[in-house]
């Protein structure tokens, strides 16, 4: 399959490969690996592809361990996330969400059929969740069940509940702590996240 989005992903791959190890998976997600200093853990940061430049500008300059930045080419679907998460071998997850704040809990919603299109309701609403066929930029076809259970992780300094981020429960089911932050809150999220992983570099 070819098209503007796939061409843009290939262009991103060429740019990232000049600076770090990078790959594109079967869903068209781009995974870039940033190595820090000795020690720490492996933090998987999952962000919408259009937010790539903003997230890159806000990555911490110094840290221990590794940050794997995953850029999502889908409309926020779960299957591309879980595929990338399994490849990242993460110790913790940060979801970069299209919202303001820093969160340790969220999700708990689904989409159901409404009179004029999909409607978002609570996960325990009796109406069945929509299942939508998607086509990834690579041509891969998959089905996305638009139901995203609630998730929560141990609170960190400055974190709150109430994120709309959909993918958190998939990370919690793998035993991982997961958090969410808006792009503008990343600078506030890094210190507690990295400290929790033993990856914070001070001084």
Neighbours of 22 (CB within 10 A): 18
Residue 19's pLDDT band, with cuts at 50, 70 and 90, is confident
Q: Which of 108, 128, 126 is nearest to 118 (CA)?
A: 128
Q: Are the C-beta atoms of residues 159 and 179 closer than 8 Å to each other? A: yes
Q: Model-level pTM?
A: 0.92
Residue 8 has pLDDT above 70, yes or no: no
| Residue labelled with tokens 């110790």 | 91
**Domain covering 4-107+150-196, topology:** Aminopeptidase (3.40.630)
For residue 44 the two structure tokens come to: 């998987």
Q: Is residue 80 helix, strand or coil? A: helix
Residue 1 has pLDDT above 50, yes or no: no
CA distance 104 to 159: 6
Residue 182's pLDDT band, with cuts at 50, 70 and 90, is very high
Q: Mind listing the pLDDT tens digit for each residue in 82-140? A: 999 999 999 999 999 889 999 999 999 999 999 899 999 999 999 999 999 999 999 99
Confidence at residue 22, expressed as pLDDT on a 0 to 100 scale: 87
Q: What percent of the chain has pLDDT over 70?
A: 91
Contacts of 42 (CB under 8 A, 6+ apart): 65, 66, 68, 88, 89, 90, 91, 92
Biggest alpha carbon distance in the chain?
57
Q: Are the C-beta atoms of residues 22 and 31 closer than 8 Å to each other? A: yes
Residue 3 has pLDDT above 70, yes or no: no
Confidence at residue 21, expressed as pLDDT on a 0 to 100 scale: 85
Q: Which of 133-142, 145-154, 161-170, 194-203 has the lowest mean pLDDT?
A: 194-203
Q: In degrees rounded to 5, what are phi and psi of residue 80?
A: -60, -35
CA distance 145 to 101: 27
Residue 5 has pLDDT above 70, yes or no: no
Rg of the Cα trace of the chain? 17
């Amino acid at each position: 399959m070819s098209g503007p989005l796939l061409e843009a992903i290939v262009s991103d791959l060429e740019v990232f490969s000049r600076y770090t190890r990078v790959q594109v998976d079967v869903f068209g997600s781009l995974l870039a690996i940033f190595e820090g200093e000795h020690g720490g853990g492996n933090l998987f940061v999952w962000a919408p592809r259009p937010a790539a430049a903003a997230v890159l500008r806000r990555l911490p300059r110094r840290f221990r361990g590794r940050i794997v930045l995953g850029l999502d080419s889908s409309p926020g679907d779960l299957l591309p996330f879980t595929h990338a998460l399994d490849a990242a071998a993460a110790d913790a997850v940060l979801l970069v969400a299209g919202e303001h704040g820093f969160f340790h809990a969220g999700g708990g919603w689904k989409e159901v059929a409404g009179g004029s299109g999909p409607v978002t309701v609570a996960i325990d609403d009796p109406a069945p969740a929509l299942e939508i066929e998607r086509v990834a930029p690579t041509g891969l076809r998959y089905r996305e069940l638009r139901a995203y259970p609630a998730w929560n992780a141990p609170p960190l300094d400055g974190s709150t509940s109430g994120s709309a981020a959909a993918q958190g429960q998939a990370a919690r089911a793998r035993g991982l702590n997961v958090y969410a932050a808006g792009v503008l809150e990343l600078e506030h999220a890094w210190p507690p996240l990295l400290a929790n992983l033993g990856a914070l570099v001070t001084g």
